[in-house]
């Protein structure tokens, strides 16, 4: 709102008091001097201002054709037009608003704008929480086309918002240059469909499935809409489109299968299915036509990566059902909480590495495996970097899955629930060591005052609290990090030139309690108020309760910082730096704005300009950090929190480098729809 100074009343009579008259004259002189200063001020500021950066046509150009930049998911760009010396001049070059916003009222679930766009072959593509797909001019933001799939699944279950994190692109090298659907955009939806679109027009590819669509619930048996759907982009590579799906957590033992499938990129015909059952599994009895794939198997809800030359697809898996009680999974933990390498042509397992044994913490592998090859790391072999919710970073041989550095099986607390047979040990990496604190003893309880600190200390003493991997219990257990991490789906970015890996993390604890079936029957899971969650786990001996560990003032009981950004030297295994990420602004009223770190979801972008860009936090800022030191060297206010992962591109020598971030909130903040592109001001000089 613009405010204008009140105008003097023209009817007021002039004062005749000489002192007042003197005051008017003095004020008139002051106004005159201020007017002169005001006229001089722009010139004075210009004299001391840093000049705008000079942009030349020199330097690399690069697009961003896949979710992680390339199929390997490094989240890194060789572009350096924007660097540490000029990042402070970044400004909004364009923005696109889809209008796809829901606050969760009515019959439509709340939206969260978590997309990471792609830019292959001169067009930017992105999707929204309503599963609409947009094609834009990457340099102006002008809309080229949009596609609406006609969403049917309007109300999702639980606290999770409507998201679409990305789309996939595939060029059909066998098609004629001007053929329809020679380049295709694939999107997987909340309606559990895989859709193929013509990249030039946005029209469905009629030769793919049924009118451009493949139904993903086929073979699963009866499944409610809200229990099985896709939130992450498919992977298109070597003539196949590979896709997994989210399965709603902890609702029932016989949850839908976590099957991963590959479809022919041209026809949509099923090429293979990886049903993650253990080797030698004897299929359970089922009625004819009831379902094709085994129920309760680990699902793959996060982002895939691929090695086209080796013909490998890398899959991060979740838990068997239910997440929090292993006794009823009947041996379906074999591929759970793992990174699995599949043959892209057949779907056969080449290798798998398990990050958690018999997982009862919901520590599913949340992030895209990052494929690297760096001199000095593991002898320079092709590797896989897999971050986990525990803050464990596993570096594996890409061909065999063998750890590049020792992984130690260390004793962990035992379970005390009848029928549970937990693993006595868990794998811990040694290069690097764990990147998240492994314990939260009562003496580390946080509080702004003795009152809330005492409340947190009492809670940490009351519940079972034996450090990381304390299992859920009847009395309630402290889980630190909580089930959201640590790191989450934002994953990592890797600078392959300097061997640096960047990752953001949350540091907050949760309380998890198992509740006997007879007691759980008296509770109303649908009446639970988020952030408390009640899980029925139908078919198991117990239900469960889970909620963040907060003080009576509503703040985390874990000590700040509650959000961090880290750089890891992959050669030495050392933590190069760690800095606080985020503030309490936009979550607390002024003056309670502290540099305390913030819960964060979304990831990093690393560039050859030695910058790390990130949104992710609960405050409405987009930031850039010095990749060498971790110093925050730029931040700007944005209209909504940016709980997404940024990307960048520069498409021609005479063009600018753009950095793009989706700002559209999360469950903890206002939903929005602002796709923002930042660039440096001024023209690019001719070479």
Catalytic amino acids? 362
Token pair for 316: 């991060």
Three-state DSSP class for 444? helix
Residue 685, CA atoms < 13 Å, CB-side half-sphere: 8
Asked if residue 480 lies in contact with residue 439, where contact means CB atoms within 8 angstroms, the answer is yes
Provide CB contacts within 8 A for 201, sequence distance 6+: 145
Q: How far apart are CA 501 and CA 271, in angstroms?
A: 35
Token pair for 352: 């798998």
Asked if residue 432 lies in contact with residue 573, where contact means CB atoms within 8 angstroms, the answer is yes
Q: How far apart are CA 29 and CA 162, in angstroms?
A: 61
The Cα-based distances of 61 to 74, 289, 635 in angstroms read 17, 53, 25
Query: What number of residues does the chain have?
Result: 687
**Strands, E assignment, 26-153:** 55-56, 76-77, 91-97, 124-127, 133-136, 143-147
Asked if residue 229 lies in contact with residue 191, where contact means CB atoms within 8 angstroms, the answer is yes
Token pair for 535: 């899980």
Three-state DSSP class for 605? strand
- Percent helix, strand, coil in the chain, to 5, is 10, 30, 60
Which burial class, exposed, middle or buried, applies to 660 when counting CB atoms under 10 A from its CB (0-12, 13-18, 19+)? buried
Q: How far apart are CA 327 and CA 633, in angstroms?
A: 50
The Cα-based distances of 429 to 43, 356, 406, 435, 480 in angstroms read 58, 12, 7, 10, 18
How many other C-beta atoms lie within 10 A of the C-beta of residue 33? 10
473 pairs with which residues across the strands? Answer: 513
Helix (H) or strand (E) holding 462: helix 450-462
Q: Of 305, 306, 315, 307, give the one whose Cα is nearest residue 261.
A: 315
How many other C-beta atoms lie within 10 A of the C-beta of residue 257? 27
Asked if residue 153 lies in contact with residue 108, where contact means CB atoms within 8 angstroms, the answer is no
Residue with tokens 């020199």: 58
Furthest C-alpha separation in the chain: 105
In eight-state DSSP terms, residue 298 is: P
Q: Are strands 563-569 and 500-506 parallel, antiparallel or unpaired?
A: antiparallel
Q: How far apart are CA 96 and CA 669, in angstroms?
A: 20
In eight-state DSSP terms, residue 27 is: H
């Amino acid at each position: 709102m613009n405010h204008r100074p009140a105008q003097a009343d023209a009817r007021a009579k002039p004062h005749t008091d000489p002192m007042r008259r003197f005051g008017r004259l003095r004020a008139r002189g002051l106004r005159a001097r201020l007017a002169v200063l005001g006229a001089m001020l722009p010139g004075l500021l210009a004299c001391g201002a840093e000049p705008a950066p000079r942009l030349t046509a020199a330097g690399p150009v690069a697009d961003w054709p896949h979710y992680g930049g390339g199929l390997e998911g490094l989240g890194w760009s060789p572009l350096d037009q924007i660097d540490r010396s000029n990042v402070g001049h970044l400004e909004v070059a364009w923005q696109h608003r889809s209008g796809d916003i829901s606050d969760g009222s009515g019959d439509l679930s709340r939206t969260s704008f978590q997309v990471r766009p792609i830019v292959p072959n001169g067009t930017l593509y992105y999707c929204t929480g309503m599963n609409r797909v947009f094609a834009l001019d990457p340099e102006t933001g002008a809309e080229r086309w949009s596609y609406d799939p006609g969403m049917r699944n309007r109300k999702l279950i639980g606290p999770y918002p409507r998201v679409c994190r990305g789309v996939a692109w595939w060029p059909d090298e066998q098609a004629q240059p001007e053929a329809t659907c020679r380049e295709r955009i694939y999107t997987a939806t909340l309606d559990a469909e895989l859709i193929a679109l013509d990249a030039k027009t946005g029209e469905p590819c009629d030769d793919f499935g049924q009118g451009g669509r493949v139904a993903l619930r086929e073979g699963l048996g009866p499944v409610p809409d809200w229990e099985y759907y896709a939130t992450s982009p498919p992977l298109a590579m070597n003539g196949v489109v590979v896709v997994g799906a989210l399965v709603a957590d902890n609702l029932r033992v016989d949850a839908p299968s976590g099957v991963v499938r590959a479809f022919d990129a041209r026809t949509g015909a099923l090429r293979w299915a990886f049903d993650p059952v253990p080797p030698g599994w004897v299929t359970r009895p089922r009625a004819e036509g009831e379902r094709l794939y085994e129920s309760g198997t680990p699902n793959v809800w996060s982002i895939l990566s691929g090695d086209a030359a080796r013909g490998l697809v890398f899959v991060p898996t979740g838990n068997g059902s239910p997440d929090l009680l292993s006794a009823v999974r009947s041996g379906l933990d074999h591929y759970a909480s793992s990174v699995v390498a599949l043959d892209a042509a057949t779907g056969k397992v080449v290798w798998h590495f398990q990050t958690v044994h018999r997982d009862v913490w919901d520590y599913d592998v949340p992030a895209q495996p990052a494929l690297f090859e760096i001199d000095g790391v593991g002898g320079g072999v092709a590797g896989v970097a897999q971050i986990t919710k525990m803050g464990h970073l596993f570096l594996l041989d890409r061909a065999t899955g063998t750890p590049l550095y020792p992984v130690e099986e260390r004793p962990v607390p035992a379970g005390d629930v009848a029928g549970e047979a937990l693993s006595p040990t868990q794998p811990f990496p040694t290069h690097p060591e764990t990147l998240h604190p492994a314990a939260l003893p009562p003496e580390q309880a946080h509080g702004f005052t003795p009152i809330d600190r005492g409340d947190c200390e009492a809670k940490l003493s009351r519940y079972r609290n034996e450090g990381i991997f304390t299992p859920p219990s009847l009395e309630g257990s402290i889980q630190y990090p909580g089930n959201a991490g640590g790191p989450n789906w934002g994953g990592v970015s890797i600078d392959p030139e300097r061997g640096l890996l960047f990752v953001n993390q949350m540091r907050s604890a949760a309380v998890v309690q198992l509740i006997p079936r007879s007691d759980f029957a008296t509770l109303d899971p649908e009446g639970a108020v988020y952030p408390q969650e009640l899980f029925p786990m139908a078919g198991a001996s117990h239900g469960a309760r889970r909620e963040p560990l907060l003080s009576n003032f509503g703040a985390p009981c874990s000590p700040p910082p509650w959000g961090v950004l880290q750089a890891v030297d992959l050669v030495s295994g050392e933590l190069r730096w760690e800095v606080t990420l985020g503030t309490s602004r936009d979550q607390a009223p002024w003056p309670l704005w502290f540099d305390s770190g913030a819960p964060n979801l979304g990831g990093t972008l690393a560039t050859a300009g030695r910058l790390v860009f990130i949104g992710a936090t609960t405050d409405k800022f987009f930031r850039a950090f010095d990749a060498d030191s971790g110093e925050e060297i730029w931040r700007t206010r944005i209209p909504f929190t940016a709980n997404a992962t940024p990307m960048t591109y520069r498409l021609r020598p005479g063009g600018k480098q753009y950095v793009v971030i989706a700002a559209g909130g999360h469950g903890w903040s206002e939903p929005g729809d602002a796709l923002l592109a930042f660039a440096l001001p001024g023209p690019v000089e001719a070479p």
